[in-house]
Structure 1
Amino acid sequence: MLKVQEIREIIKLVDQSSINEFTYETNGTKVSMKKAAENVVVQSQPVVQVEKEVTAVQPTQATAQPVQQEVKETVEPTAKESTVNFDHEITSPMVGTFYAAPNPESDPYVSVGSKVNKDTVVCIVEAMKLFNEIEAEVSGKIVEILVENGELVEYGQPLFRVKTK
């Protein structure tokens, strides 16, 4: 569950950025923010969905039977289950905006299948108008990219999965 201060920081970052919509899911909680003109709207709701199916049997005059109900619940998992084989996750060292390339016209630093070394720059995280180059810190191969370009990321949020040598 996010703390109030963390939600306030996210609101401030979204408000100051060019992002119009932001969604974050963790531990069964989903936080969505959308900019509407000059306002930021925050919605927080649990991700657990309950589906109910009710069958009613009306009693007849000849037989006075009680109404029967059948209830079925379905809970959808919130965490993305990965079948990708990996040894290491590259995580965000700060709250900010994820950029896969040095500028919009350039190719991404890495893609799935790219080989990286400890000092290979894999992305940029922008925080408070500062562009911070994030290095792989391990040698291996990128097997999964977990965030989209321009997405707001949290401290410690996994960005890439790497299969080390």
Structure 2
Amino acid sequence: METKEIAELIELMAKGNLSEIEVEREGFRLRLRKEPPPAAAHPHMVYASPTSIVAPEKLKELAGPSAESSREIRSPMVGVFYRSPSPDSAPYVEVGQEVNENTVVCIIEAMKVMNEIKAEARGIITEVLAENGKAVDFDRPLFRIRPLP
């Protein structure tokens, strides 16, 4: 089984919200299992320092009325997280920026393919949770946004 086929299986797991998949072919057996994300066990755990620094007063203002009203943009795949399209370009989004469902917020490089990740919701970016140029796991929180009506 080639790595491309394995990547397709991982993508199938993500899109189908599957927690486990097993494939057997010509004496080769592959079993993929997704463990629950650590965020489920520790909802207040911080995974990485934010890449943008914001004054505490401004963060409270951006965060809105309560943490329960915030939402996370999560990684749909395993790969390397990039905030901008190239090293010398500005980031796709910054803390405090309004986004909509089609706004590209970052790129995740997986198997030398650059995958644009969209916000998929309307809101204000309140926190960047992943570090630029670092590997991210499937379902890892990348950004926190405050939804807008």
Q: TM-score, normalised by structure 1?
A: 0.50
Map of 1:133 onto structure 2: 116
* Aligned Cα root-mean-square deviation (Å): 2.1
| Structure ranking higher in helix proportion | 2
Relative contact order, CA 8 A, sep 6+: which one is greater? 2
1:87 Cα deviation from its structure 2 partner = 2.2
Map of 2:72 onto structure 1: 89
- Whichever of the two has the greater Rg, that structure is 1
Aligned pairs for 1:22-41 within 5 A = 27=38
Residue of structure 1 aligned with 2:82, choices 85, 99, 107: 99
| Letter in structure 1 aligned against 2:138 | Y
Separation in 2, partners of 1:129, 1:141: 30
- Secondary structure of 2:88's aligned partner: coil
1:150 paired to 2:133: yes
Q: Deviation digits for residues 97-138 of structure 1, max 9, x if unmatched?
A: 000000001000001001000000000000000000000000
1:160 paired to 2:126: no
- Secondary structure of 2:77's aligned partner: coil
Aligned length: 89
Map of 2:23 onto structure 1: none
Aligned pairs for 1:48-59 within 5 A = none
1:80 paired to 2:80: no
Stretches of structure 2 lacking an aligned partner (at least 5 in a row): 1-36, 39-43, 48-59
Stretches of structure 1 lacking an aligned partner (at least 5 in a row): 1-25, 28-77
Separation in 1, partners of 2:100, 2:46: 27
Map of 2:99 onto structure 1: 116
Q: TM-score, normalised by structure 2?
A: 0.56
Separation in 1, partners of 2:117, 2:74: 9
Q: Deviation digits for residues 4-46 of structure 1, max 9, x if unmatched?
A: xxxxxxxxxxxxxxxxxxxxxx75xxxxxxxxxxxxxxxxxxx
